């Protein structure tokens, strides 16, 4: 079976599942997206890894794993989403130590959080993408023009119906200085979801 490389498109909050998030993976050489339900902690951990400027005051669980692995010369080479059963994705982490390769079973959310920290590529098999991959429509709402694609037709895993992309909305009234102060406070309080939203607003202003 052929492997398909994926990148992270974004993270969406589910309005239909309390505390659930949708991690949206993008097919590198195609237009399909692969949405995966993840928990709040894993969503925040992935968001932090994506936001290079947000540095937690103490290591998170996935940071601890990376530090532990690096101390013992273990390298995460790649992550493969290899199975889909009843809406649940199964993943493997391909590791290497002393030129010996090992395959470790992992939850997909944990595997991707680690892949980001090791700059490791993420793959899935073509048959999984054929089965669960979808096309995300761009919102026709003119007020959202230029915004990221959002999951308004996530019927493949229907749990995502009505998701919305995390953005900096709600912080437009603050100055850049105030936003940087809010960002520092959010990081110190370990409110990384809020920090990601503020960082998004800052990036939009500074781009």
Mean pLDDT of the chain: 80
| Residue 62 included in any domain | yes
Residues 6+ apart with CB under 8 A from 120: 76, 77, 78, 79, 114
- 176 and 86 share one domain: no
- 103 and 16 share one domain: yes
CATH number for the domain spanning 16: value is: 3.10.690.10
Q: Which of residues 101, 132, 163 is at a domain's end?
A: 132
- 104 and 8 share one domain: yes
pTM of the model: 0.72
Return the structure tokens found at 111: 């595997």
Structural domain that includes position 199: 171-206
Residue 78 pLDDT level (bands cut at 50, 70, 90): very high
- Residue 206 buriedness (CB in 10 A; 0-12 / 13-18 / 19+): exposed
| Residue 150 included in any domain | no
Count of alpha carbons within 13 angstroms of residue 109, beta-carbon side: 20
The total number of structural domains in the chain stands at 2
- 182 and 120 share one domain: no
Is a pLDDT exceeding 80 seen at residue 143?
no
Residue 163 pLDDT level (bands cut at 50, 70, 90): very low
Which residue matches tokens 């953005």?
167
Higher per-residue confidence, 175 vs 158: 175
H or E segment to which residue 102 belongs: strand 100-107
- 12 and 107 share one domain: yes
Residue 79 pLDDT level (bands cut at 50, 70, 90): very high
Q: Is 40 helix (H, G, I), strand (E, B) or coil?
A: helix
Higher per-residue confidence, 83 vs 138: 83
- pLDDT at residue 134, as a whole number: 83
């Amino acid at each position: 079976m052929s492997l398909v490389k994926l990148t992270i498109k974004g993270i969406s909050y589910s309005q239909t599942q309390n505390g659930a998030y949708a991690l949206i993976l993008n097919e590198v050489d195609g237009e399909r997206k692969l949405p995966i339900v993840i928990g709040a902690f894993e969503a925040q951990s992935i968001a932090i890894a994506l936001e290079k400027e947000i540095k937690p005051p103490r290591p998170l669980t996935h940071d601890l794993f990376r530090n532990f692995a690096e101390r013992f010369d273990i390298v995460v080479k790649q992550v493969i989403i290899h199975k889909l059963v009843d809406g649940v994705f199964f993943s493997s982490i391909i590791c290497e130590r002393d030129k010996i390769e090992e395959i470790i079973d992992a939850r997909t959310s944990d595997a991707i959080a680690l892949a980001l920290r090791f700059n490791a590529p993420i793959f899935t098999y073509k048959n999984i993408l054929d089965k669960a991959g979808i096309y995300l429509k761009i919102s026709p709402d003119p007020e959202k023009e230029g915004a990221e694609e959002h999951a308004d037709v996530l019927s493949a895993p229907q749990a995502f119906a009505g998701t919305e992309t995390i953005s900096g909305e709600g912080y437009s009234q603050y100055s850049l200085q105030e936003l940087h102060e809010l960002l520092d406070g959010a990081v110190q309080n370990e409110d990384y979801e809020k920090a990601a939203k503020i960082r998004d607003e800052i990036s939009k202003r500074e781009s």
